[in-house]
A and B are shown apart, each in its own frame.
Chain A
Amino acid sequence: MIKAVDKTKVPWWVSNVIVPLANLILALIVSGIFIFIAGENPYQAFKLILYGSFGYIEGFGYTLYYATNFIFTGLAFAIAFHCRLFNIGGEGQAYIGGLGVFLVAFYLDFLPIPLLIFLSILGALLFGAIWGLIPGYLQAKRGSHVVITTIMFNFIASAVMVFLLVNIIRDKAQMGPHTEILNKDAWLIMFREIASFFGYKIGYSPLNISFLLAIISSLFVWFFIWHTKWGYEMRAVGYNSNAAIYAGISPNKNIILAMLLSGALAGLLGVNEILGVHHKIIVNFPAGYGFTGIAVALMGRNHPVGVFFAAVLFGILYQGGSEVTFDMPNITRFMFVAVQGVIILFSGALENLFRPQIEHFFVKKLDLGLKT
């Protein structure tokens, strides 16, 4: 039995970088086993992942494009988590957020472009926020467990959106259930357009300036949680609601606020997908990004910086993963869904599995270092 280590002596980088890294490595080892069972060489696969995500500029573009989505959904899960709420509804909130984006961008296209883009972003925030607000309200006022309600709202969102896409806002001229395409002016500037402006010619990737929006959102979340009284109160409620009451903080208000903001952040995914990439609403555009956001947030320990790195990591997995599926016939993209699950397992449910050993090791090592 490892003797418990004096917690004050553990450097923050051990707890927040080494341990998550160790969990990641563990997850990758297990993933390697999965790849092996599937009949392919795990080492080859990992090399392909790195190549696909970094090896060429378009691939890197894709990596960051995926990361953009993961930052939004990761931040969404993370912010709710600071109030001890598990928002599993990122998929649905993103979906409905996309509706908000589209409605503004499509029907208000007479407005000047900067204003239109700005209002579209507001539309995403507003619609996503509503979809998060309802489960939040039900948890605060009626004690309905937010995990279950948000899962239900994912399904309800899907039903609502499919209904709308098939019946109401459909592009009547086309066969598929999707909306008309947005006016070209409303399309967000793409990365390759910026590059060509500076004289670099690069191939297509979906990366667009909503990546910057993701960065801005990260800054906002960081500032909100640690530098405003609202973030302070939210964290207090999340850690200890009894103490929060003692301090005059209302648990109900903060639960509702947390879910509202969480939904809004997830809604921003719509900005990327609809304004930046597809320029229309297609069925199921959230495509699992909402769920991946959970893994991203857990890996990133619910901190915007961690979320950023984890988002890029998952972007690498996704993009590198497609490279693998391209080159290795036995591996489909679903293998990488499984890898996500393993990462969630080791970064979430079993995150402290080897923490005592790791912390003990480092504290000892540092002590020994000091003696000489």
Chain B
Amino acid sequence: MDIFLELVSILSATLRISTPLIFASMAGLFAERSGTIDFSLEGKMLAAAFVAASSAYVFGSEWYGLLAAILCCIALSMLHGFASVTYKGDQVVSCVAINIMMIGLTAALAAAWFKKAGVTPTLNDQQRFHEISFPFVEQISNIPILGIIYSELISGHHIFIYLAYISVPIVYWIVFKTSFGLQLRAVGENPSAVDTAGISVSLLRYKALAINGILIAFAGTYLSTAVLSHFSREMSAGRGYLALAALIFGKWRPKGALIACLIFAFTDALQMRLQGVAILGIGVIPVQFIQAIPYVLTVVLLAGFVGKAVAPSAIGQPYIKER
């Protein structure tokens, strides 16, 4: 019974930890499927977290926070788009620039505006998101096994978690079952085919980046207005890169990325639980080893040892008409 409770607790943590990763990897999926490299998920997530927490504080509602974060991230994605699509500059450099700018600017403005050493003011109950309790939780929780699953695992999460998991099939549907998705995937594989079919390559890529901005905003907002009630500097803690790793691991497909996010989140949840706990026959696994698992897995995948991760063919190459 104890083990079961432990498991539920770990799974519940997994759901929570995976949420920003899922939003971020879905964001990355749109950009990269359309042929634009997006290593700047980290910076955008951070920007979203800062903007959301500050706006929620200043305007008094978490929804303003979300809205502001969305606008901010769309702007950053458009900047990246301008540098990559219209101006045809180096996409990797543009991403690195955005990441570093945001790491710096968010912390700097947090300190400058709120005078609290890189932390925004704590949001009160009116200004942050709350967990959602499903109906009849109290009654059902007494039922053995199912009750606990309902009350701990399914009910009681922030709306973001539910949104994240719903977003996956929606993203799948958009990308694989609509004409927009078809064009999106085509422009990431062979932009000439799209151009000669009479569709604007640039417009498609900008649209993809706009969606990218919206999704990543959710990831960042979740961190600072739901999980915690404030922004603190560098709070994204590498999640943007992990999400990218998940995307690659999932071979740029929503389901694959979801599974990868779950694996990464699970190892994180497990690691927290297992700190200091000796495992039969192995002893205590150093926490750093567990923390390194997602990154090692990504390298292994990229090295082609777990099947091939084939990126969209036209990724990273600005579209220039051939003479």
A192 to B123, CA, bound (A): 49
- Pick the interface stretch among A49-57, A270-278, A290-298: A290-298
- Classify the interface of chain A: helix, strand, loop or mixed: helix
A145 to B311, CA, bound (A): 10
Besides A86-B92, A153-B295, 19 new A-B residue pairs in contact (Cβ under 8 A), listed by A number: A34-B108, A142-B303, A144-B302, A148-B302, A151-B241, A152-B295, A155-B241, A156-B295, A160-B288, A294-B96, A329-B115, A332-B112, A334-B107, A334-B233, A337-B103, A340-B104, A341-B98, A341-B104, A345-B94
Q: A156-B295, A334-B108 are in contact. Are A349 and B99 (CB under 8 A)?
A: no
In the complex, which residues of chain A have a beta carbon less than 8 angstroms from the beta carbon of B105? 34, 334-335, 338, 341
- Pick the interface stretch among A37-45, A67-75, A244-252, A255-263: A37-45
Interface of chain A residues 167 through 195 with chain B (CB within 8 A): 167
Q: Is A353 an interface residue (CB 8 A)?
A: yes
The residue that B113 contacts in the complex, of A38, A138, A155, with Cβ under 8 A, is A38
- Classify the interface of chain B: helix, strand, loop or mixed: helix
A144 to B309, CA, bound (A): 9
Q: Is B101 an interface residue (CB 8 A)?
A: yes
- Are A144 and B303 touching (Cβ within 8 A)? yes
The residue that A156 contacts in the complex, of B286, B296, B302, with Cβ under 8 A, is B296
Q: How large is the interface on A (under 10, 10 to 19, 20 to 34, 35 or more residues)?
A: 35 or more
Interface of chain B residues 274 through 323 with chain A (CB within 8 A): 286, 288-289, 291-292, 295-296, 298-299, 302-304, 311
Write 28 A-B pairs (CB below 8 A) sorted by A numbering. Answer: A34-B105, A38-B109, A40-B112, A86-B92, A142-B303, A143-B304, A144-B304, A145-B302, A148-B298, A148-B302, A149-B299, A152-B245, A155-B295, A156-B295, A162-B288, A294-B96, A334-B103, A334-B104, A337-B100, A341-B99, A341-B103, A344-B96, A348-B94, A349-B87, A349-B89, A349-B93, A349-B97, A350-B89
Nearest Cβ on chain A to B260's Cβ, whole angstroms = 14
A178 to B177, CA, bound (A): 55
Nearest Cβ on chain B to A156's Cβ, whole angstroms = 5
Q: A-B contact count, CB below 8 Å?
A: 160
Contact with B along A134-146 (1 / 0, CB 8 A): 0000100011110
Interface of chain B residues 89 through 143 with chain A (CB within 8 A): 89-94, 96-109, 111-113, 115, 117-118
Q: A142-B304, A160-B292, A167-B286 are in contact. Are A332 and B107 (CB under 8 A)?
A: yes
Nearest Cβ on chain B to A238's Cβ, whole angstroms = 14
- Are A337 and B291 touching (Cβ within 8 A)? no
Nearest Cβ on chain A to B100's Cβ, whole angstroms = 4
In the complex, which residues of chain A have a beta carbon less than 8 angstroms from the beta carbon of B299? 138, 144, 149, 152-153, 156
In the complex, which residues of chain A have a beta carbon less than 8 angstroms from the beta carbon of B99? 341
Q: Is B83 an interface residue (CB 8 A)?
A: yes
In the complex, which residues of chain B have a beta carbon less than 8 angstroms from the beta carbon of A237? none
Contact residues of A with B, CB < 8 Å?
34, 37-40, 86, 88, 138, 142-145, 147-149, 151-153, 155-156, 159-160, 162-163, 166-167, 291, 294-295, 298, 329-332, 334-342, 344-345, 348-353
A188 to B105, CA, bound (A): 36
In the complex, which residues of chain A have a beta carbon less than 8 angstroms from the beta carbon of B94? 345, 348-350
Nearest Cβ on chain A to B49's Cβ, whole angstroms = 14
In the complex, which residues of chain A have a beta carbon less than 8 angstroms from the beta carbon of B53? none
The residue that B288 contacts in the complex, of A153, A159, A335, with Cβ under 8 A, is A159
Residue of A nearest to B117 (CB): A332
Q: Is B248 an interface residue (CB 8 A)?
A: yes
Residue of B nearest to A38 (CB): B112
Q: A148-B298, A349-B90 are in contact. Are A291 and B108 (CB under 8 A)?
A: no
- Are B289 and A345 touching (Cβ within 8 A)? no
The residue that B118 contacts in the complex, of A144, A330, A332, with Cβ under 8 A, is A332
- Are A138 and B303 touching (Cβ within 8 A)? yes
In the complex, which residues of chain B have a beta carbon less than 8 angstroms from the beta carbon of A350? 83, 87, 89, 94
Give the 7 A-B residue pairs with the shortest CB-CB distance, closest first: A341-B101, A338-B104, A337-B104, A38-B112, A334-B107, A341-B100, A348-B93
